[in-house]
Amino acid sequence: MASQLLLIEQSFNSRYSADVRVALDEFSESFTITDPSISGHPIVFASRGFLKMSGYSKDEVIGQNGRAFQGPRTNRRSVMEIREAIREERPIQINLLNYRKDGTPFWMLFHMSPVFCKEDGRVTHFVGVQVPISRKPRRSVSGVERNSVDLCEDGSRLRGDILFGSCRREVCSDTLVELGHVLAIESVLDSDSRGLDIEESCEASDVDKRRAATAINDILSVLTLYSELTGRLVCEKRYSLPEQSLLSSSLNISLGRIKQSFVLTDPHLADMPIVYASDAFLRLTGYARHEVLGRNCRFLSGVDTDSLTLNRIKESIRNEQACTVHILNYRKDKSSFWNFLHISPVRNASGKIAYFVGVQMEEGCKNQDRHGLSPEKRQLSAVGAVRVAIRSLSMGADPSKS
């Protein structure tokens, strides 16, 4: 948990100047900011307005996925539309039923917009503004008569189902078997649209929509201003696609479910740079994500790293083959560690090599895990999980190589 909070702190501290949180806290609107590059796509900032509206404290919100505020009567079609917008890295404005801490539902207009790194075009964050809707819901048009209870103004008057819990939970997987099970479940859930058309819905007014759009623009202006002070500029539009690999937010989120230490490198770019680094890799090496992306893995080598081992790695990459080595690497603080390293090519849905994955395991921490898997099998399961994520998304027109 401490390491996750550190990554959340770095999400803001590495991109914006120190006063950005103070500036964001001056807004009265309800909004959250999430980081798709961190495992679980967690909330990294929550406004005072959001905390007041939801009834949660800051400590209860930071680190949570937005699904934590959905419930049994949240329209699944709306949730899937949000997920699709994240996958396509585009804005969305949609009516959504969420739940407060005390379990009462409330309707809101949810307006989400991506924030792009101006230098390389990556999505750094998503900003989500929540505007409460104060109008009464329309009746169902499916032929099923429902009670006309005012959910918008007073969620506590809702009759019928007991309201509790979240409709979905974040799933974390560190083995191929577990990840495959998760993907199979999500596939069934996402294809099942039964009952999606019979929920009551609140319609946002034009005033609500303008209010949400204005809030988004104001928040993005603040983020842009405070990113200029650090020299790591963000913007609301992706102006150009650079000559380096871009991983979509959905692929980042899928890879974030894999809890082992690994990196993805792109062999099609000059010097084969790292295009993805897992949270566990950052913990192992002590580097921040922005200090890793775009660099060749050789920065982990040092004065006592064996050159013959490095040549063996280069040869396996040249021959497009997997290899496993024991290599002396160095952390950011210059301390050394023996790395049990497995490198393997990863092919996309068309069979072409899209990336190479490198799975790291510190010597001395190679005992079997709680599932009884040996270090070798744990590494292979991580490679398999990466392949599943990349192939499944490349078949769905993901930016992965085709």
pLDDT at 241: 52
Task: Return the SS3 of 73.
Answer: coil
Beta pairing partners, 356: 265, 345
**DSSP helix/strand/coil, 311:** helix
Put residue 137 in one of left, alpha, beta given phi > 0 → left and psi -120 to 50 → alpha.
Answer: beta
The region of weakest confidence among 110-119, 146-155, 246-255, 297-306 is: 146-155
- What is d(CA 159, CA 51) in angstroms, rounded to the nearest whole number? 26
Query: Checking DSSP bridges between strand 336-347 and strand 323-330, what pairing results, if any?
Result: antiparallel
> What crossing angle do the helices spanning 249-256 and 375-394 adopt, rounded to 10°?
160
What's the pLDDT band for 389 if we cut at 50, 70, 90?
confident
Among 136, 133, 87, 138, residue whose Cα is nearest residue 112:
87
pTM of this structure: 0.64
Q: What angle do CA 171, 193, 61 make, to 5 degrees?
A: 35
Give the whole-angstrom CA distance, residue 284 versus residue 340.
12
Q: For residues 259 and 385, is the Cβ–Cβ distance under 8 A? A: no
Domains of the chain (ranges, CATH numbers): 2-235 (3.30.450.20), 249-394 (3.30.450.20)
Over residues 18-60, the pLDDT tens digits come to 899 999 999 999 999 999 988 889 999 999 999 999 999 999 9
* Span 175-210, pLDDT tens digits: 444 444 444 434 444 444 433 443 456 788 999 999
* The pLDDT value given to residue 218: 96
| pLDDT computed for residue 365 by the predictor | 66
* Residues facing 110 on adjacent strands: 94, 130
Q: Is 346 helix (H, G, I), strand (E, B) or coil?
A: strand
Average pLDDT over residues 312-338: 95
Q: Of 41-55, 77-91, 238-252, 263-277, which gets the smallest average pLDDT? A: 238-252
What is the spatial distance between Cα 269 and Cα 373, in angstroms, rounded to a whole number? 34
Return d(Cα 275, Cα 272) in angstroms, integer: 9
| Residue 367: per-residue pLDDT | 54
Query: Residues of the chain with pLDDT > 70: what percent?
Result: 76
Give, for 265, the enclosing helix (H) or strand (E): strand 262-265
Rounded average pLDDT over 226-240: 85
Least confident range of 3-12, 39-48, 82-91, 180-189? 180-189
Taking residues 257-272, report their average pLDDT: 92
Cα 249 versus chain centre, distance? 6
Backbone angles phi, psi at 179, to 5 degrees: -65, -40
Residue with tokens 């000559």: 243
Please give the pLDDT value at position 163. 34
Q: Using CA atoms, how far apart are residues 3 and 1, in angstroms rounded to an integer?
A: 5
Position 261 scores a pLDDT of 95
Q: Name which residue leads in pLDDT, 357 or 397.
A: 357
Task: With H, G, I as helix, E, B as strand and everything else as coil, classify residue 258.
Answer: strand
DSSP 8-state secondary structure symbol assigned to residue 189: H
Question: Model confidence at 120, in pLDDT bands (50, 70, 90)?
Answer: confident
List the beta strands (DSSP E) in 267-332: 274-277, 323-330
| Residue indicated by tokens 């099942």 | 192
**Rounded percentage of the chain residues whose pLDDT exceeds 90:** 55
Give the SS3 label for residue 139: coil
Residue 29's nearest CA partner among 124, 110, 114, 140 is 110
Is the pLDDT score of 242 beyond 80? no
Residue 350 confidence (pLDDT):
78
Instruction: Report the alpha-carbon angle 317-290-342, nearest 5.
Output: 30
User: What is the band of 366 on the pLDDT scale with cuts at 50, 70, 90?
Assistant: low
Judge contact between 50 and 32, C-beta under 8 A. yes
Across 113-128, average pLDDT: 91
What DSSP character marks residue 46? E
